[in-house]
Each structure stands twice: as C-alpha cells, then as structure tokens.
Structure 1
Amino acid sequence: MLQKISSRQHQILEYLLESRNGLSVDELAKALDISRTGVQQHFVVLERDGYIRKSTLNKTAGRPVTIYVITDKGNNYFPKQYAWFSELILSDLQQEIGPERFNAYMQKLGSKLADKLRGKFEGKNLNERVDELAIVMTDLGFQVKVDMESETESPNMEAYNCIYHDLAQKHHEICAFDLALMSSLLDKEVEQLSCMAKGDCNCSFRVK
C-alpha cells in the first residue's frame, strides 16, 4: 500500500517523473524555489519510503554529482486508468466464449491466484485461515471486516468497497473470481449473501 505524501513531495515526484534521467538537489531547489535543506529533508522521506533512489551523474569536469531518480513505486504513485481497457477485454472475451464459459473462466482465475497464495494458509485452522484471507483481501484493496454469525457460528466477511465495481456492474461473473479465491484458500464452500454491483450496501460472504 502506498504511503501518503505531502503536496511538496508530490511536486518533487512530478518533476522526477518528467526528468527520467534524474535531478540533483540544487536543480530541484531552484525549480521549487526552496532551500537545499528543504529538498534534502523531503528526499530523506521519499527515499526511505521507496519512491526515489540515488544515482550518480559523471560530469566531464569536476566531481560526480549525486542525482535522484523516481522508482517504479514512485511512478505507480500516480493514478492509472485501466478500467476502460479491462472492460474492452472482458466484453470481447464474453462474446467469444459465451456467458457460461466466461463464468467458469473467472472461477479458474480465482483458483489460480489461490494456488499462488496457498503456502500462507497451510497448517492453519479455519479461523486462522479466515484471518489470513482478510489480510489477502486488504492487500488486494478491499476494506474488510470479519465477524462470527451468532446463530450458525459461521465466519462472515464483509467488504465495504469493490475494487472493480464498474466492471462488476457490467459483468456479474467477476464475483465468481472472489468466490473461487475464498473457497480455495479456506478449503470451504463460501456463499455470497450480498453484492454491491447488484445494488447492495456491501459485499458479504458466509463460510459454510
């Protein structure tokens, strides 16, 4: 998860994004009209959090100059818009293979991701698996809460956001991805009780 940065640090990343060969402290101090010390203080935070890194520029005359370049994490700080492209791919795929196979394909994708994460769940009981699943879902971008259903004593998981809400509204089959992922990792059948893409307040799941 990306850490929050200040408006000044955001400016620094913008300059470094435009200057992919990197900039020195003096160059940024001049561009931002602040002191070298001020720039260095921001650099300490940005470098610590992995947004920038040091590099060296060999000048023809004089000693080499330390410059700073933006990292992949710094580049990813700026928002990306993939929804339109994903919608194009999913719509074409659904047309090509039909609704039933499309739903099965979403299930297969969920199971494939579960296979990559399975090592974190091995040797754990159900409650520990549910807690681990909550961590996985949070890492994926969901805001989740886990509780125990009083009547059945079954674990419930509620997500208060949908990380692909616009896509799921057009392709409800995407929910099959979540169900396959959860069921595979918990080694239990998971039932979806509500869905934000269908107008509900949250997405809730019960472990059977």
Structure 2
Amino acid sequence: MSQNVSSRQHQILEYLLESPSGLSVDDLAKALDISRTGVQQHFVVLERDGYIKKSAHNKTAGRPVAIYVLTDKGNNYFPKQYAWFSALILSDLQQEIGPERFKAYMQKLGGKLADKLQGRFEGKDLHERVDELATVMAGLGFHVKVDREPEAEGLNMQAYNCIYHDLAQEHHDVCEFDVALMSALLDKQVEQLSCMAKGDCNCSFRIK
C-alpha cells in the first residue's frame, strides 16, 4: 500500500477498480457504511493526488450526482508485475537471434528512445545535456548523481538503483540500452564502469 493512501482510501480505490463505470459518494457511503461527509473528505484527498476524477453527472431525484472513476494513476496504484513477462520475451528473443544480435538490438532500442527525446537536448552545451540526461534517467526511475570533480576524467554519472535489476542479472546486455541512450543524447562516447547486476555497488558511467 502506498504510504500516502490510508486504509479507508485503499478500500475506496478497490471499489472503484471493481466498478469501471464509476461510483457516487452515496454508493461508497453505503458500501463502506460510513457517512457521506467521510467519503467526501477522502474524495478530496484522492482527487487532489490524482487517483480519481469526476467522469459524469447523473440525475437522481432531480439533483445532479457526481460519478467518480479511477485515473491512470489510480489504476497504477495497484501492483503490476511485468518482470516475469519481460524475462520470457528477452530469453526467447536472445535464443532466436543470438547473443551478438541481441546486444545490437538493445543498442538500437536505446537509440530509438534517444530519437524521441532529442528535442530536449538541442542547443544545449555538454553540462546542460548532462543535467537534462539526469532528469531523463530520474524520470525512468533511476536515482542518479553526476560527478563533476576536477580530478575526474571527464564527467561521471552514478545510478544507485537498477530499474530492471532482475532482468539485467540474467541478460547483462540489457545494459547496452542505457549506454546507447546516454551516448546518443549526449553525442559523446559513454563507457560503463560498473554494473549492479554484476555485483557492483552501483552502475557508473564515464562521459568522455
């Protein structure tokens, strides 16, 4: 359960998950056996935080009644497991095309994502590009830090988590995706110095 969602709000989200057409305050007050005011207070928080939204107004006894549904964020609140499916696809792909072509495929995927993000890097110098890259990596789920110490050879970037750690442990060439993405966005050679999937304490990259 997310830390910013209470147990009662979790119940509300579960009811809305099971009712894709939406529910009203009265519907949930009856289902949860609490007051309308109590439901409304929870709705204010859940709507503010982006978990639910008004989808329509129905008329009951001549008065409009707001109907609430889950947002994409509300749907994503409930855990999803993709790692096993991704591992199945990658294992099958590697068997089909072989290790060398698999490595090249990961590099191609990194390049394709870079193509979509190039507009955010145009007209920027290297240091600005590195800052923007750190923002991109954070958006993907990485916790990163840029090392600009004078004695460092070039610029270094460390990632203290791996967003596909289990996959990378089985398929080390998945890391080629990151290297290709970073190299293309910075228009510089990027070398991977360490890898958490291989037992290192972080994933570190040197920007030449």
Specify if TM > 0.5: yes
Structure 1 unaligned residues grouped into runs of 5+: none
- SS of residue matched to 1:23: coil
- The answer to whether the 8 Å contact 1:3/1:49 transfers is no
The answer as to 2:20 corresponding to 1:17 is no
Q: What residue is the counterpart of 2:39 in the other structure?
A: 39
Aligned counterparts of 2:131 and 2:147: Cα–Cα separation in 1: 10
- Offset of residue 4 of structure 1: 3.6
How big is the shift at 1:59? 5.4
Partner of 2:134: 134
Q: 1:42 to 1:174 in 2, by over 3 A?
A: same
**Once the 2 structures are TM-superposed, how far is the Cα of residue 184 of structure 1 from its aligned partner?**
0.4
Cα distance in 1, alignment partners of residues 6 and 156 from structure 2: 37
2:153 matches 1:145: no
Counting only pairs closer than 5 Å after superposition, residues 123-202 of structure 1 correspond to structure 2 as 123-152=123-152, 154-202=154-202
Distance 2:125 2:181 in 1: 17
Letter in 1 for 2:175: C
Q: Distance in 2 between matches of 1:60 and 1:6?
A: 30
Aligned CA-pair RMSD = 1.8
SS at match of 2:151: coil
1:5-45: per-residue Cα shift (whole Å, max 9, x none)? Answer: 33322221111001112111122123233322221122122
Residue pair 2:51, 2:70 contacting (<8 A) in 1 also: yes
SS of aligned partner of 1:173: helix
Structure 2 unaligned regions, length at least 5: none
Percent identity of the aligned residues? 83
**Does 29-38 or 51-60 show the bigger shift?**
51-60
Contact 1:83 1:167 in 2 (8 A): yes
**Alignment partners' CA distance in 1, 2:169 and 2:87:** 11
Aligned residue pairs: how many?
207
TM-score normalized by structure 2?
Answer: 0.92
Counterpart of 1:51, as a letter, is Y
Query: Match of 1:108?
Result: 108
Whether contact under 8 Å (1:172, 1:197) holds in the other structure is yes
The one-character-per-residue Cα deviations of 1:98-125 (angstroms, maximum 9, x if unpaired) are: 0000000000000000000011111111
SS in 1 for 2:63: coil
Whether the 8 Å contact between 1:192 and 1:204 is mirrored in structure 2 is: yes
Is the contact made by 2:58 and 2:67 (CA closer than 8 Å) also made in structure 1? no
Q: Distance in 1 between matches of 2:155 and 2:60?
A: 66
